[in-house]
Amino acid sequence: MKRRLPLRARLAMMTASAVAIAIIGASVACWFLTRDQLVSQLDQSLRTAAPPARVLFVPESSGCQIGERAPLFGEPDENGKLKLPETRQILFRDGTVCASPFAYEIAPTQADLDVAQGRSREALHNATDANGTEMRVLTRQDKGPDGATLTFTVARPMTDINKSLENLGILLGIVSGIGILGAATTGVLVARAALKPVDKFTDVVEHIARTEDLDTTIPVEGKDEIARLGTSFNAMTSALKASRERQQRLIADAGHELRTPLTSLRTNTDLLLLSEEQNRPLPTSDKQRLLRNVRGQLRELSGLVVDLLELARPDRARNAPASGVAALHTAVGNAVERARLRGPEVEFAVDLEPWHVRGEEQELERAVLNLLDNAVKFGPPDGVIGVKLRDGELTVRDHGPGIDPADAPYVFERFWRSTSARALPGSGLGLAIVARTVAESGGTVGLEPAEGGGTLARVRLPGTGRAPGQA
């Protein structure tokens, strides 16, 4: 299998081929037009030629002779014939030819006989005389010297025309060769100029692939296809850079958050092991306290790992919207039931209307549960949490200390925790998961101070109150 030519060579070859085809086509057209013009001029001169001036003898069967004077120039050949600029002869109905004594006879064709026999008015064609010279022949009827109608043939040699066409063909061939060579050179120059931006593009891409330097951008000039490609590539590298920065930040923040529970677990387990190794058992109350701490740290660690896995999955909001249809009221109801199991002492005031949105019901349920957990965490132990769903707007209201307006823009960032929340359990990822899930469904979410105290979480999701397929 032949190795495919590089793009530069293919572009140069296509450009040169296109120009070469145009040159060759123009040359061929020029040659044929010139030939037709020369032949047309020759035909016109044949039509204006006069019939023979005198016929000496005209028998119907044994031939005849046209009485013409011998020309004053030229030496006769071995047959007594001369190279004449024009040959004239008479044609009879039976095919008999009466030719000049100084010219070679031209045998009539069927087209000539058709004129002699009255079936055609004129015959114009190429023929070869008895000496092998190509002639242009015109056969027509006209009045003879005695007034009688004669069928006569006028012929002129094609030698000059053929020689001119041969010289023209050679000249056009030379010109075409020079043109093709120039086309090849032009093709190389065009390919080099056209692919110069691509070369720059390639150098930048190879540099990024070699160094992983996503800060490198491609200079974009103009608005052509190469410029569009460069703009798209710069946008792609910017997106990759932002993604890598988010990953690095997530890893750094996750490492920071994991360090605290892991340190606490290691301290507690070391203390328990040390007491066993030294055969100095801890008091039962202290041991139970340590074990409860270990269990709490394990729960916090498990929750953090689950949240990290949730945030580590591909961010669908930047690629494509959620494709399924979920019953938001069902997801909210399930989340409330799960929240009741976690905090049985907290009361939930629920008011839900049917609302169907774009998204996955399980993910929406987890997002709502995170909002409820957040409300339980900041609300009083025996307080009431209001949950309402009306016309696509979900509100979760607690009666806690409320949110500082200065903290509102940051609460949905990963691992961000306000000063008042740092002493409470949690990973700082719950509200980030809420913001991501809501964005994937095309909605918005925000926290704001509630009237009368507490915090109000407001989620707006586009959708409909009718179930899919419902009339």
The 10s digit of each residue's pLDDT in 188-214 is: 888 787 777 777 778 888 888 888 787
Q: What end-to-end distance do the CA atoms of the chain give, in Å?
A: 62
User: How wide is the angle at C-alpha 428 spanned by C-alphas 426 and 432, nearest 5°?
Assistant: 130
Residue 64: what pLDDT?
Answer: 60
Whether the predicted pLDDT of 440 surpasses 70: yes
| Mean pLDDT for all residues in the chain | 79
* Mean pLDDT computed over 110-121: 90
Amino acid at 360: E
User: What is the spatial distance between Cα 82 and Cα 70, in angstroms, rounded to a whole number?
Assistant: 9
DSSP 268-282: HHHHHHHHHHTT-PP
Domains (range + CATH), the chain: 50-68+79-157 (3.30.450), 244-312 (1.10.287.130), 323-464 (3.30.565.10)
Q: What is the per-residue pLDDT for 67?
A: 53
| pLDDT score for 395 | 93
Residue 98 has pLDDT above 60, yes or no: yes
| Among 140, 144, 59, 52, residue whose Cα is nearest residue 99 | 52
Q: Which residue from 167, 168, 112 is spatially nearest to 135, judged by alpha carbons?
A: 112
Confidence of residue 256 (pLDDT cuts 50, 70, 90): low
Q: Where are the beta strands (DSSP E) in 17-130?
A: 55-57, 65-66, 87-91, 97-99, 122-128
* Helices 430-440 + 361-378 axis angle, to 10: 140
Average pLDDT over residues 8-36: 87
The predicted pLDDT at position 286 comes to 79
Confidence of residue 65 (pLDDT cuts 50, 70, 90): low
Tokens read off for 268: 């507690």
Would you state the structure tokens that stand for residue 6, as one six-digit string?
A: 């590089």
Cβ-contact 331, 364 below 8 angstroms? yes
Contact present, 156 and 45 (Cβ < 8 Å): yes
Nearest-angstrom CA–CA distance, 427 and 429 = 5
Q: Is the pLDDT of residue 379 over 60?
A: yes
C-alpha 113/C-alpha 234 separation (Å) is 83
Interval 371-394 mean pLDDT:
87
Helices 196-211 and 159-194 pack at an angle, to 10 degrees, of: 30
Distance set, CA 271 to CA 259, 261, 263, 268, 380 (Å): 18, 15, 12, 5, 34
Sign of CA dihedral 411, 415, 420, 421: positive
Structure tokens at 147: 């007034």
- Residues 297-309: tens digit of each pLDDT: 777 677 667 666 6
Q: Are 123 and 115 in contact (CB under 8 A)?
A: yes
